[in-house]
């Protein structure tokens, strides 16, 4: 249902832009491991996909200079976003393992609120509530607290990065997105994170397996599964 018009954008019944999609994740590359194929698919359909990344992932390369790592990871994320047709990546610059404390200290609520109000997403994708990685769960909590505090109404879906098959989430409503046409873009995008080469090689098999497993759910070659939390 379309009700309002603002700056030539038709808004939905919640006052959001029906073509605006937001991804919120902890580290650069989570957005590709999770909804990478969906980002490319939506971009091809003309949707505006913005990405917000909480940390620079500076702990990922402990032997290298912090500044060098940050620069490399920001550039990779921006190049990948461009390749997939995204509308830009914003880094909040929080330190890994310290999201909860720094979210308040660094006054992230108004910053995140401002970005959400600017993008007006009708769908937000973020980490699962039961992700094994503490940063991912912490981000999930902070994001939901933010949109609830804002009383922002939109669909929020969770994606998995590490969990292979999530039987615990059976009771959630899920959507399965056919990414057969963009799966190769997802693979190429992952390979573009050259600073993460080592861990990527180890995880690549799980990307294939999950895409195949999700695909078998709706009888297509490759898919991504998301669970509705709002």
Interface with Zn ion (CB under 5 A): 26-27, 30
Return the bridge partners of 20, or none.
48
CB of 217 to Zn ion, least distance (A): 24
Q: Which is nearer to Zn ion, 162 or 172 (CB)?
A: 162
Cβ atoms of 192 and 118 closer than 8 Å? no
Angle, helices 134-150 vs 108-119, to 10°: value is 70
- Rounded CA-CA distance 116/120 in Å is 6
Considering the complex, state which of residue 128 and residue 182 has its C-beta at the smaller distance from Zn ion: 128
Smallest distance, Å, CB 55 to Zn ion?
A: 8
- When CB distances to Zn ion are compared, the closest residue is 27
Report which DSSP code applies to 192. T
Write down the least CB distance from residue 27 to Zn ion, Å: 4
- Cβ count within 10 A of residue 176: 15
Helix, strand or coil for residue 69? helix
| Choice between 12 and 30, CB closer to Zn ion | 30
Residue 4's DSSP bridge partners are 11
Give the number of residues written for the chain. 230
Shortest distance (Å) from residue 133 CB to Zn ion = 6
Q: Cβ closer to Zn ion: 27 or 47?
A: 27
């Amino acid at each position: 249902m379309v009700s309002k018009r603002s700056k030539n954008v038709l808004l939905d019944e919640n006052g959001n832009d029906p073509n605006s999609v937001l991804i919120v994740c902890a580290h650069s590359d989570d957005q590709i491991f999770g909804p990478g194929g969906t980002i490319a698919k939506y971009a091809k359909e003309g949707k505006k996909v913005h990405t917000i990344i909480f940390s620079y992932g500076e702990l990922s390369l402990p032997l290298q200079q912090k500044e060098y790592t940050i620069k490399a990871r920001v550039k990779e994320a921006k190049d990948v976003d461009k390749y997939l047709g995204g509308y830009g990546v914003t880094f909040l610059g929080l330190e890994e393992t310290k999201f909860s404390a720094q979210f308040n200290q660094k006054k992230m609520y108004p910053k995140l609120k401002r970005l959400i109000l600017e993008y007006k997403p009708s769908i937000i994708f973020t980490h699962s509530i039961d992700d094994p990685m503490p940063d991912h769960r912490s981000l999930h909590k902070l994001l939901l607290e933010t949109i609830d505090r804002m009383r922002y109404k939109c669909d929020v879906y969770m994606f998995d990065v590490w969990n292979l098959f999530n039987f615990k989430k059976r009771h959630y409503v899920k959507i399965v997105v056919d990414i057969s046409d963009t799966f190769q873009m997802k693979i190429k995008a992952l390979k573009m994170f050259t600073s993460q080469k080592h861990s990527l090689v180890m995880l690549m098999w799980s990307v294939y397996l999950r895409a195949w497993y999700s695909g078998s759910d709706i009888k297509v070659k490759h898919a991504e599964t998301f669970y509705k939390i709002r």
